[in-house]
Amino acid sequence: MIGDLVGRPGRALFSTLIGPLRAKYRPDCVVVNGENAAQNGRGITAQTVEFLRKSGADIITSGNHIFGQKGYTEAFLSSDRLIRPLNFPSECPGKGYVLFTTPSGITIAVVNAQGRVFMHEQVACPFKSMESLLTFLKSQTKLVFLDFHAETTSEKQGMGFFLDGRITAQVGTHTHVPTADEYILPNGTAYITDIGCSASMHSMLGMNINSVLSRMITQLPSKFIVEEAVGPWVLRGVCITADVATGKALSIERVEIIKAELVINQDTAGKE
């Protein structure tokens, strides 16, 4: 599971590194968070969904920025592998989970949910939403992976302990800053508060430092610009292994690849 790809650098990191990552870890499924994958860092287009899928993403999760592009409906219509937080209103396009069959014939569920603490969207209770979805998912598979898109460490920990032993893994996204607390909870669920993002290291959450800092200091409007010029570049995520028979996690390992140079063009980042 790979953290939020921010703009074209995030896409270029993914397309450049997914080959070596697949060779090293031999994953049955690659999940990537695409809520910031559009060129301006907000949302995703159908074109970018296609690019990421062709590059090697099996499932694309998202979060609060997922409806940030005008073409969000087309993006969801273009692929059932793109999911959005489960607890958004039912009128929103897309759905909050996907059942995926691996090349070796194993069915896994990938779920996306969003937290409520310090988040602007008035979404339904993520705990109760997960509880009711699990009733259904457990009839389909023991292997359930959750991308919990939330701001606070406490809400993410709360969800982890709420689901411990009932899902295979919960990874956090949204803060874009990785945490060092990956481990297996007492009842067998792999957990990490946040897996971080894939972007310029010398940026603020993937955005140009001055574009964010000037708003903090002056309180004047400032357009946040994806940092495309200044490296090094980092891809972050985790590799999780699980026991297919029980659905319990066996290991969770943080993945971090730093590149001094990154080619960002249409071949590596797609056309949008």
- The yes or no reply on residue 64 touching Fe ion (CB under 5 A) is yes
- The yes or no reply on residue 112 touching Fe ion (CB under 5 A) is no
Please count the residues of this chain forming the interface with Fe ion, following the rule CB under 5 A.
Answer: 6
Minimum CB separation of residue 136 from Fe ion in Å reads 26
Which region, judged by CB under 5 A, interacts with Fe ion, from 3-11, 110-118, 223-231, 240-248? 3-11
- The yes or no reply on residue 63 touching Fe ion (CB under 5 A) is yes
Binding mask 13-52 for Fe ion (x = CB under 5 A): ----------------------xx----------------
Minimum CB separation of residue 119 from Fe ion in Å reads 8
Nearer to Fe ion, 4 or 227 (CB): 4
Nearer to Fe ion, 8 or 174 (CB): 174
Minimum CB separation of residue 242 from Fe ion in Å reads 25
Kindly report the number of other CB atoms within 10 A of residue 225's CB atom.
16
Minimum CB separation of residue 138 from Fe ion in Å reads 28
- The yes or no reply on residue 198 touching Fe ion (CB under 5 A) is no
Which region, judged by CB under 5 A, interacts with Fe ion, from 42-50, 57-65, 88-96, 242-250? 57-65
Which region, judged by CB under 5 A, interacts with Fe ion, from 61-69, 80-88, 123-131, 250-258? 61-69
Q: How far is CA 165 from CA 63, 100, 162, 188, 248, in A?
A: 24, 21, 9, 5, 7
Nearest to 40 by CA among 222, 225, 215, 223: 225
Question: Is there a catalytic annotation at residue 176?
Answer: no
Question: CB-based contacts of 174: which residues, under 8 Å, 6+ apart?
Answer: 4, 63, 64, 115, 149, 150, 151, 194
Minimum CB separation of residue 177 from Fe ion in Å reads 11
Binding mask 128-167 for Fe ion (x = CB under 5 A): ----------------------------------------
Kindly report the number of other CB atoms within 10 A of residue 256's CB atom.
14
Minimum CB separation of residue 64 from Fe ion in Å reads 4
Of residues 65, 149, 174, 176, which has the active-site annotation?
Answer: 65
Residue among 1, 2, 3, 4 that touches Fe ion (CB under 5 A)? 4
Contact set for Fe ion, span 173-192 (CB under 5 A): 174
Residues known to be catalytic: 65
Q: Which residues sit at the interface with Fe ion, rule CB under 5 A?
A: 4, 35-36, 63-64, 174
